[in-house]
Structure 1
Amino acid sequence: MEDDETPPLSAEESLSLIARQNERMRRELGASPARLLGVWAFAWLVGWGLVYLSDASHAKPLMPGWAASVVVAVLFVASIVYSIFYGTRVNRGIRGPSQLVGAMYGWSWMLSFGALTLINLRVMALGKLDPSTISLLWSGTSLLVTGALYLAGGMLWQDKLQYGFGVWIIVCSGASVLVGVPGNFLVLCLAGGGGFLVAALVYYVRERRGRPLGTRRR
């Protein structure tokens, strides 16, 4: 008697299926990764650019440091709100493995940055660090976690662009520490924000050409 049961998918086939389902839902709902990355590109380019230009080491700072910090906070809060809206829109209507993977990946960002904040605050309290070291600590660790999460996303959805972007952000994390203050803010602005912008443009071009995102040519 023949076995009519469908054989289980391999790990690669399962990941490929998840990637295709997510891409189809993004197209149907009009949710574009280019828009999300563009929002973060704007936040990083403008926010960290203002912080760099407002640093007290400059002969004529653009604005008070506290004002630049407020602008960064507003831009990042707005970007986070949009990211939540984007994630909710993409996951609407998705069921099964894709929904679970998307939810777990979203929570990974919140958990990772929550833990990073607690660790950095504790290190600051114990180490009595000077302001320059604190600045390097936050820029380096934040970029490192961001890059690692993009690496994970690239692996989950078999998206080479997302994986490569994660590699770039991790390189930026090391560079931000090596250049010191206020050069780390320039790295965040030009390398980090510029990386978001380039990724957004590549996704936009792919969408215009109708090529599914996260897929590989056979």
Structure 2
Amino acid sequence: MIGVDDGPEGDAPEGDAPLSAIGSLAVIQAEGRRVGRLVRFNPAIVNAMWAVAWFVGFGCAFLAYGPDRLIPGWLGPAVAAALLVAAEVASFAYGMRVGSGIAGPSRTSAAMYGWSWTLGYVCLTVLNVALTHRGLSGPDVTLLWSGSSLLLAGVLHLTGGTLFRDPALYAVGVWTMVCAAVAVVAGVPGNFLVLAFAGGGGFAALAVYTGWVRPRRARR
């Protein structure tokens, strides 16, 4: 167009100038960090959710048990069940969101491990309900549900620690199984305190370790 200086022939507009090697490397590294944040699984988030679910849920179950209960009897089991189910659903959803950015055998292994939790607890629920309908009642039902649920969770954590070569996940599996055994030995309502403080405390300690201690060691 007459009156407009297009500059030397072949020159690219200033905004479309090619990046230098250093600039290109910076863009690649920034994109890599962004993708890494999307696909990296942060165990501290999951462990913190389970710590809250165990501490608050089983704490309410203890407060709702017996003639001297401090809250309505129906509220304790309801809160515990709701928080544990919510933690399971949130953990599964978080794992699926992170896994959506991963392809290949790693994604398949993670999906199979995630579904193991769902299938395991569905079968455990059927088993415990069947035993309850066959005459098991009272404190024995409480010990059955808490002990078997924690034992299954511990075994699945052990499996996850072995599968992903994660010593921290393996350690929480061992701790969960120990809590399950101690809770059954303690009886009702002491088992609720064991689950709230020992179980919830174990998850809280693991959340601190995976979210703060281990990253600091890795940076060093």
**Could you say whether these structures have the same fold, taking a TM-score greater than 0.5 normalized by the shorter chain as the test?**
yes
Aligned 8 A contact 2:46 2:91 in 1: yes
1:52 maps to amino acid:
F
Aligned 8 A contact 1:44 1:192 in 2: yes
Alignment pair present for 1:171 and 2:157: no
Alignment pair present for 1:192 and 2:199: yes
Runs of 4+ with >2 A deviation: 24-31
Instruction: Give distance in 2, aligned partners of 1:168 and 1:42.
Output: 17
Instruction: Give distance in 1, aligned partners of 2:176 and 2:202.
Output: 8
Aligned 8 A contact 1:116 1:142 in 2: yes
Which stretch of the first structure deviates more once superposed, 134-143 or 78-87?
A: 78-87
Unaligned segments of structure 2, at least 5 residues: 1-33
1:92 maps to amino acid:
S
Query: Scaled by the length of structure 1, what TM-score is found?
Result: 0.79
Alignment pair present for 1:180 and 2:220: no
Residue 84 of structure 1 deviates from its aligned partner by: 2.4
Instruction: Give distance in 2, aligned partners of 1:85 and 1:210.
Output: 29
Q: Quick one: structure 1 residues 151 and 185, their matched pair in 2 at CA, closer, same or farther if it must change by over 3 Å?
A: same
Aligned 8 A contact 2:38 2:98 in 1: no
Aligned 8 A contact 2:39 2:99 in 1: no
Query: What corresponds to 1:156 in structure 2?
Result: 163
Instruction: Give distance in 2, aligned partners of 1:26 and 1:134.
Output: 45
Instruction: Give distance in 2, aligned partners of 1:208 and 1:49.
Output: 31
Query: What corresponds to 2:154 in structure 1?
Result: 147
Structure with bigger gyration radius: 2
Residues 132-143 of structure 1 aligned to structure 2 (within 5 Å): 132-143=139-150
Query: What corresponds to 2:100 in structure 1?
Result: 92
Query: What corresponds to 1:41 in structure 2?
Result: 51
1:201 maps to amino acid:
V
Q: Percent identity between the aligned chains? A: 45
Aligned 8 A contact 2:38 2:101 in 1: no
What is the Cα-based RMSD across aligned positions, in Å? 2.0
- The partner residue of 2:128 within 100, 120, 123 is 120
Residues 48-59 of structure 1 aligned to structure 2 (within 5 Å): 48-57=58-67, 59=68
Instruction: Give distance in 1, aligned partners of 2:116 and 2:86.
Output: 20
Query: Scaled by the length of structure 2, what TM-score is found?
Result: 0.78
Query: What corresponds to 2:110 in structure 1?
Result: 102
Instruction: Give distance in 2, aligned partners of 1:81 and 1:111.
Output: 13
Query: What corresponds to 1:66 in structure 2?
Result: 74
Count of residue pairs the alignment pairs up: 186
Instruction: Give distance in 1, aligned partners of 2:51 and 2:107.
Output: 27
1:109 maps to amino acid:
W
Instruction: Give distance in 1, aligned partners of 2:120 and 2:35.
Output: 26
Query: What corresponds to 2:6 in structure 1?
Result: none
1:50 maps to amino acid:
C
2:109 maps to amino acid:
V
CA deviation vs aligned residue, 1:180-212 (integer Å, no higher than 9, x gap): 001111111111111111111100114542629
Instruction: Give distance in 1, aligned partners of 2:147 and 2:36.
Output: 32
Residue 85 of structure 1 deviates from its aligned partner by: 2.2
